[in-house]
A and B are shown apart, each in its own frame.
Chain A
Amino acid sequence: MSEGLTWTVYDADSMTQAEIYGQVLCDLGDQHPEIVGLSADLANSTKIGKFGQKFPERFFNVGIAEQNLFGVAAGLAKSGLTPFVSTMATFVSMRACEQVRTDICYQNLDCKIIATHGGASFGQAGSTHHCTEDLSIMRSFANMTVIVPADGIECANAVKACIDWPGPVYIRIGRGFEPKFYDDEEYGFQIGKAVTLMEGTDITLICCGVTVLQAMEAAKFLKENDGLSVRVLNIHTIKPIDEEAILKAVMDTRRLAVFEEHNVMGGLGSAVADVIAASGKGCAFTKVGIPDCYCEVGYPEDLYTHYKLDADGVIETVRQVMQMDFEEDDDWEDEV
């Protein structure tokens, strides 16, 4: 983490995720003259505009032109600066997909992307604004780091940490109406390291983004009502994924369920499944998200309920996974 900065606790009660990162970026801007900001007519909506107000000469609004946005960012990075680029997740990952891959990731450029309105967080806007594919797309770009913060505080941590993390980083947040999860920033955030929120031995819930809060509520309920010992992992970094934490969960709990605001294909669930499959260990496993369809229209809360990503949905899934059979070998070590 950068030296010489004393971090205040961001007022997460009154600030949205995006406002917090905007503020963090302003603070970082003082210490890091190499930081430049960019957006595409969404400076205000994404809150990177805060940086723009503080450092007008270091901020570039390219208008509604996302391909140009990431091309320009690549050029700025090649000139020795560190661009932070913010627009809606759907336009980063799909409109400017090739610019992000070829112009930024291929050259492993130091470009940090803060993608807003991810998942179904702008559910009422319809399919063009839903973004349930980005984690899959971004994860498939070599050199790219992919982070999905649980709330504004974690977003602040991610933004600070990515300064010293080489290469391109994709930080995916919501629309700004997500409830806060963390009370302060001191919980040991590290890129690539899962956060164990609750210890348990019967089942592990793996989550990121808005599902973290829901999984925790469900875990507490299941402990009290079903007498289950539930482990909860916040795997905020989808790539590089914390293989150790996943393997340990397989060994310790043998039942895993993943919850994410994304198509069940290609995102966190798939990343976890890759690790499990490669380990050769048997376990009960399920992934919950948008079931390979285009998301319905609606306010995010309704959609989270519909797709079983709220606490009730998590509880329902856990009860199912507890009933699942799986090949269990007496001699665990021999299974590979």
Chain B
Amino acid sequence: MALSTNEIKDLEQHAWQARQDIIDITGWSGGAHIGGGLSVADILVILYFKYLNVDPKNPQWEDRDRFIMSKGHAGVAYAPVLARKGYFNFDDLQTFNKFKSPFGMHLDCLKVKGVDVSTGSLGHGLSIAVGLALGARLQKKDWYTYCVLGDGECNEGSVWEAAMSASHFKLNNLITFVDRNRLMIDGETEDVMGLEPFADKWKAFGFIVKEVDGHDFNQLSEAIDFAKAEKSGPVVIIANTAKGKGVDFMENEVKWHYGGLDTDLRAQAKASVDKLYGKA
């Protein structure tokens, strides 16, 4: 079902907040993976504020939907979304990166409420997601497993081992996203290690492919509804995004994969986000 105007307004507000938060955390932590945090922010927002059947008051609720941030370096985006969802106080994130903090750059399921799987070493998430989805089916549970991959991450052979098994086991309770921002650390994905024809690869591995604008809530919503309804096998949503989305001087800039922000840059970045959301 199409999103209502109010829903969109609500999601946009969360997305604005997430981007502000990402900028703040990057500033006070000394450095974070801001580029890929900003590109995946809208996917996180729509999942946590519209789709995921979770209960922040009961993070281990056994019938909850599972979520795996396989591109674990996006902890800088994942953590504030969890905070705003109500898992913990946003101010706790002041300790991000610091000594004995529960919040390292890559979120840890033993330390952070709401995190189902510790990630950070790329290429692990989808296999774990396959296991979770198989486990749900075997135990006749109707929760879904959602997994977000980076596009560079899809260089890892393990991603394709997992993909092969997801379609072999006909997992229709697994919804995979790829944050297709076309950049990794050493450059553009197509220059470092070409992924195209990317959608065809997923199709060849037995997935049903939906390509959307990963910053458009209507398109994301439509694709997720489609994936949830699809019964024949796994769906991958290739979300075309811009790394650094929302901060004009970071957008599509490879050097902003990881970085820090001083007070001036933080203000500049926030102003740019405000402008995007018509709050300037």
Interface residues of A (CB under 8 A from B): 39-45, 49, 61-65, 67-68, 90-91, 95, 124-129, 296-299, 302-303, 306
Contacts and interface: CB of A to CB of B under 8 A. Distances in A.
Given A41-B186, A68-B157, A127-B104, 7 more contacts: A44-B186, A90-B121, A126-B118, A128-B106, A129-B105, A297-B103, A298-B99
A298 B101 contact: yes
A93 B247 CA distance: 37
A63 B184 contact: yes
B184 A128 contact: no
Given A41-B184, A125-B105, A127-B108, A63 B155 contact: yes
Contacts of A125: 104-106, 120
Given A43-B186, A302-B99, A128 B152 contact: no
A306 B99 CA distance: 9
Interface of B: 29-31, 72, 75, 97-108, 118-123, 152-153, 155-157, 184-186, 192-193
A297 B97 contact: yes
Nearest to A64: B155
A129 B155 CA distance: 19
A65 B184 contact: no
A332 B156 CA distance: 57
Given A64-B153, A64-B155, A298-B98, A128 B120 contact: yes
Nearest to A49: B186
A125 B192 CA distance: 24
Nearest to A305: B99
Nearest to B98: A298
A64 B120 CA distance: 13
A39 B184 CA distance: 13
A58 to B, nearest CB: 16
B93 to A, nearest CB: 13
* Interface-centre pick from A42, A63, A298, A299 (highest chain B CB count, 10 A): A63
Given A65-B157, A297-B104, A299-B97, A128 B119 contact: yes
Question: Sorted from nearest, which 3 A-B pairs have the closest CB atoms?
Answer: A126-B104, A63-B193, A128-B120
Contacts of A129: 105-106, 120-121
Given A42-B185, A44-B186, A124 B97 contact: yes
16 contacts: A41-B186, A42-B185, A62-B155, A64-B122, A67-B157, A124-B98, A124-B104, A125-B106, A126-B75, A129-B106, A129-B120, A296-B99, A297-B97, A297-B104, A299-B30, A303-B99
